[in-house]
Amino acid sequence: MDLSAIDPVILIASLMVASTPILLAATGELIVEKSGVLNLGVEGMMITGAICGFAASVQTGSPALGFLAAMVGGAALSMIFGLLTQVLMSNQVATGLALTLFGLGLSALIGQGYAGMKPPPTRPLDLGVLSDLPVIGKIVFSHDAMVYVSLALVALVWAFLRYTRAGLILRAVGESHEAAHALGYKVVRIRLMAIGFGGAMAGLGGAYLSLIRVPQWTEGMTAGAGWIALALVVFASWRPWRLLLGAYLFGGITVLQLNLQAAGVAVPAEFLSATPYLVTILVLVLMSADRSRAALHAPADLGKTFHASS
């Protein structure tokens, strides 16, 4: 056993990279759930984004266009969910699960012929002197642009929900769609926009996997990241900054596990891969133990179907 082999600075830096896909997807899902919609299709949208982004960037040679295509792909898939649940009022849980299965199949279909290819490389941002700072430089200023984009998006979502009128309306729709409807807000339209945003973010998270973190395309490459993102939203009790903390915690577990092994510490891998879910269950139990506080966090109308006539 040689724990000194693990350099905490490098560990934190690689943990940030490992966490970025779930952070992006979870930020999107946070907005969706805040609007009162439960979309369990995150995994499907992520993998669709992963292949759309991969295919686009291989064809065009531009990672930026790849990320854009991933957002479009994820959002397009989420619109199927939006149409089914918001317009045709199908059950959100069942539709979300179906979306995941559909996304996995669709991505495998699109991905035929892209296996084994290499995407155009995305280099870390050149931040000059900042990257040369001791410790901080390596942790904070040595990443690719998407890591900073994901952080900025968390901040934006936080500010949006807390300080803007639009954010207030979104939350109102999630808390009580009937009251929001009575006030004259277009509940279905607002929810569709939220779902589309969620899809785009999930797609972005998937593309981060296929374009930067792995980087290559293989079927089923998200390997459950979408489910972790879903668990993460609950873990964070629908708050953006806790989401960031949770993402680094959940993502960090994977990286830490491998680093511990390399350093010669035997940790059962099965236990660690179950940890995010265990922690989420624990948080759920703690939240529901205190009814009055739980009510403050979870959107009251989460997962309920809305129709203007009801």
Q: How many angstroms separate the Cα of 179 from the Cα of each of 132, 183, 186, 306?
A: 54, 6, 11, 12
How far out from the chain centre does Cα 225 lie? 8
Among 86, 142, 176, 254, binds another protein (CB under 8 A): 254
Residue 23 has which token pair?
């952070």
Spell out where 2-66 has E strands: none
d(CA 100, CA 106): 10
Question: Where does this chain touch another protein (CB under 8 A) — which range of 30-38, 64-72, 260-268, 288-296?
Answer: 260-268
Question: Where does this chain touch another protein (CB under 8 A) — which range of 3-11, 63-71, 152-160, 198-206?
Answer: 3-11
**Judged by CB, which is closer to another protein: 207, or 287?**
207
Q: Does 255 bind another protein (CB under 8 A)?
A: yes
**Judged by CB, which is closer to another protein: 14, or 176?**
14
Among 186, 213, 239, 304, binds another protein (CB under 8 A): 213
Say how many residues touch another protein, by CB under 8 A: 37
SS3 call for 222 = coil
Among 90, 131, 216, 305, binds another protein (CB under 8 A): 216
- Neighbouring CB atoms inside 10 A of 17's CB total 19
Q: Does 261 bind another protein (CB under 8 A)?
A: yes
Question: Residue 247: CA atoms inside 13 Å, Cβ hemisphere, count?
Answer: 31
Among 225, 228, 234, 244, binds another protein (CB under 8 A): 225
Q: Does 269 bind another protein (CB under 8 A)?
A: yes
Residue 5: DSSP 8-state: G
Among 259, 276, 280, 298, binds another protein (CB under 8 A): 259
Residue 153 has which token pair?
């998006």
**Judged by CB, which is closer to another protein: 206, or 240?**
206
**Judged by CB, which is closer to another protein: 172, or 212?**
212
Q: Does 209 bind another protein (CB under 8 A)?
A: yes
Residue 7: DSSP 8-state: -
Question: Where does this chain touch another protein (CB under 8 A) — which range of 74-82, 163-171, 214-222, 286-294?
Answer: 214-222
How far out from the chain centre does Cα 151 lie? 12
Convert residues 72-111 into a mask of x (bound to another protein by CB under 8 A) and - (unbound).
------------------------------------x---
Least gap, CB of 227 to another protein (angstroms): 14
Least gap, CB of 21 to another protein (angstroms): 8
Q: Does 118 bind another protein (CB under 8 A)?
A: yes
**Judged by CB, which is closer to another protein: 273, or 305?**
273
Residues that bind another protein (CB under 8 A): 5-7, 10-11, 14, 18, 108, 112, 115-116, 118, 121, 209, 213-216, 218-223, 225, 254-255, 258-259, 261-264, 266, 268-270
